Structure 1
Amino acid sequence: MVNQDHLEVYGGIDTHADTHHVAAIDATGRRLADVQVPATAAGYQAALRFLRSWPGLVKVGIECTGSYGAGVSRAMQVADIAVSEVNRPNRFDRRIRGKSDPFDAYSAAEAVLSGRASAAPKGGDGLVESLRVLRTSRSSALTARTATINQIKGMLITAPEELRSRYRGLSNTKLIAALAASRPTPAPVTAAEATAYSLRLLARRWQALTEQIEDLSGHLQRLLEDHAPDLMSVFGCGRDTVAQLLITAGDNPDRLRSEAAFAALAGACPIPASSGKTNRHRLNRAGDRQANSALYHIVLVRLRYDQQTRNYATRRIAEGKTKMEIIRCLKRYLVRQLYPLIVQTLQPRRQTTAA
């Protein structure tokens, strides 16, 4: 009989919208037990009681800590239980052994035991979470506004000539204002009346979305100016790029081991692409693509307006570097410059939260 007081145990949680499956294994990988709990506050406490029934609990691996597993992950961290973020189970294993909630939960525990899952989950209770929520809402509003103006223009193309001639040649701003101020019949019957009525509604939708975008942009700007002034003052950095880089880093930057780790996370680390007599590196197509896009836009601004960056590009072109290779080098340099500022911005907030 094994003494549970001296038994090292690793937990795994497979998360879903309504239920979570919790499993435990020992240090040899032997399956101990598993249980299903609801995805509620009471279910999180049940999962805690289940895992704490083994005094030697070392760490818990949780899938989808940024979505379905966010609640249970926070509950574990509040209870001072070490948590690691687990990626999806290996597809080859799924083909061989099948898939089920217990299998995924045990796989999560095995990933923690083997060290394959070692990254700490992002914090979800600080500045970065506020930025993420606001930026997500703003991005969806931007997408909807673009779809709305495209729909307006498409509808005008097929509209009766009397409508097309009335709004022909107007800029987007004047077109929206004119359509929003129009007075079509309140009970449309003909195709022309229905088109005019729909165009006014779409124009007012565009105006409402623009108001939301401006409101959300103002809140993002205020938060960044208050909490990340050093980042905002870096040449080429703006509201959207700084917000995205902070979101990628997360509320707990200590999860990033080094500047090189952040470069890899943002897809800005050089990838060897040498063969034979060719010795070179290429752009990294892995990592967080939105963070990589933010770095790319900062580099473009610097290449256009910063003389020092333009001189660097001219020198590297003379050395035989391509434009994409120069941008890759500039991205990596940019990470080296921004990483200490990102840590400096977020670290005091973590210390304040912990206190």
Structure 2
Amino acid sequence: MEGTSVVYAGIDTHKDKYVLCVLNALGRIVYEGGFATDGAGYRSLAHTISDAGRCALVGIEGTALYGAGICSYLCERGYTVMEILRSKRDKRRRGSSKNDAIDAGTTARNAAAGHGTCVLKSRDGWSEAVRALLDLRELCVRTSTAASSAAKSLDNIAPEPIRSKYEKMSVLAMMKSLARKRSATGSAVTDALHTSLHVLAKTWIDAKQRADELEVLISDLVRDNAPALLEIDGCGARQRRGRQPRKAPLKSSTRLALRRLADRGVERQDRQAQAQPGR
């Protein structure tokens, strides 16, 4: 398959294999086959692409997941790589089943046509470090949330002396109290309940402490590499989902002037218009 003609390659990525499809400039299949997801498979796949011709572009699906390894390998060797977005199920041709070879060919054709392509995410530098720390911090937050919810649920079905003691406490006060070791009461049910609440409290405290430590590391990375972000209202090292930047309130004199100028009838019509759904 040696030659100097221009070819386009598409790779359908999986956990245990890569499926490669190489097309020529006319869209005809030059090569089609599978490769292992190890070092030997990387080398064999790269050699196959170079033997097929002068590769203009390599399209890969899932460059941040199963395709991360082969993507980095090809980029290091000078190949032009673009990420190809996976087509949604409702966009697939009716009657066509899931086929890795067809998907690899579709990826190569989309790469050649420029359909569904996007710039690769940078997998190095401080932004990748922040991404890794954010993923770990999100896991710690989910763990602490699950532990506190489980502790609240157990407290709701606990005997009255235990329930009345903790039901009005805040989460922090409840967890600190439950984290202290309790002496055995002689009742199997009560002792098991105390043990469960104690373990959940220790889990909550440990996960929260880890999340706070990771937040400090993230803040330091952002402050050292992108300090301007911290000066923007509503932006920070950790932005809560759904939270919008704070709007600047109107001055009292401006509000008073608007009240005097606005006619009540016009104001009422404006409220009715705003209540109507947009067309």
Structure 1 length-normalised TM: 0.67
2:235 alignment counterpart: 237
C-alpha distance in 1 between matches for 2:183 and 2:69: 49
SS in 2 for 1:95: coil
User: Contact between 1:61 and 1:117, CA under 8 Å: does it hold in 2?
Assistant: no
Distance 1:99 1:31 in 2: 19
- AA aligned opposite 1:175: M
Decide whether the 8 Å contact of 1:66 with 1:122 is kept in 2.
yes
- Secondary structure of 2:112 counterpart: helix
Paired residue secondary structure (1:53)? helix
DSSP-derived class of the 1:65 partner: coil
| Alpha-carbon distance between aligned partners in 1 of 2:274 and 2:72, rounded to the nearest angstrom | 46
Q: Which residue of 1 aligns with 2:139?
A: 140
- Compared CA separation, residues 309 and 152, structure 1 to 2 (3 A): farther
Check 1:309–1:90 CA distance in 2 against 1; reply closer, same or farther (3 A cut).
Answer: farther
Report if the CA contact (8 A) 1:8-1:56 is conserved.
Answer: yes
Assess, with a 3 A threshold, how the Cα gap between structure 1 residues 232 and 102 changes in structure 2: closer, same or farther: same
Report the alpha carbon displacement of residue 308 of structure 1 after superposing the two structures with TM. Answer: 7.4
Measured after TM superposition, the shift of residue 4 of structure 1 is: 2.4
Cα deviations by residue, 1:266-307 (Å, 9 ceiling, x for unpaired): xxxxxxxxxxxxxxxxxxxxxxxxxxx76x5242x2x1xx34
Give the equivalent residue in structure 2 for 1:125: 124
| Percent identity for Structure 1 against Structure 2 | 28
Q: Which residue number corresponds to residue 196 of structure 1?
A: 194
Q: Which position in structure 2 is the counterpart of 1:12?
A: 10
- Give the match for residue 243 of structure 2: 297
- Which ranges in structure 2 are unaligned for 5 or more consecutive residues? none
Aligned mates of 2:44, 2:147 — CA distance in 1: 47
**Taking structure 1 as reference, are residues 108 and 166 closer, same or farther at Cα in structure 2, changes over 3 Å only?**
same
Tell me, which stretches of 5 or more residues in structure 1 are unaligned? 242-292, 324-355
Larger radius of gyration: 2
| Partner SS, residue 210 of structure 1 | helix
Structure with greater helix share of residues: 1
List per-residue Cα deviations over 1:299-346 (Å, max 9, x = no partner): 2x2x1xx347998xx99xx996969xxxxxxxxxxxxxxxxxxxxxxx
- 2:42 and 2:184 map into 1 onto residues whose CA distance is 56
Give the structure 2 partner of residue 275 of structure 1: none
Distance 1:20 1:129, change over 3 A: same
Aligned equivalents of 2:235, 2:250: Cα separation in 1: 16
- Opposite residue 75 of structure 2, the aligned amino acid is Q
**What residue in structure 2 maps to residue 21 of structure 1?**
19
Match of 2:85 in 1: 87
Maintained 8 Å contact 1:152/1:202: yes
TM-score, normalised with respect to structure 2? 0.84
Kindly report the root-mean-square deviation, in angstroms, between the aligned alpha carbons of the 2 structures.
3.0
- Asked if 2 retains the 8 angstrom alpha-carbon contact of 1:65 and 1:73, the reply is yes
2:46 is the counterpart of 1:48: yes
CA distance in 2, matches of 1:18, 1:308: 59
Q: Is the 8 A contact 2:85 2:117 kept in 1?
A: no
Q: Partner of 2:118: helix, strand, or coil?
A: coil
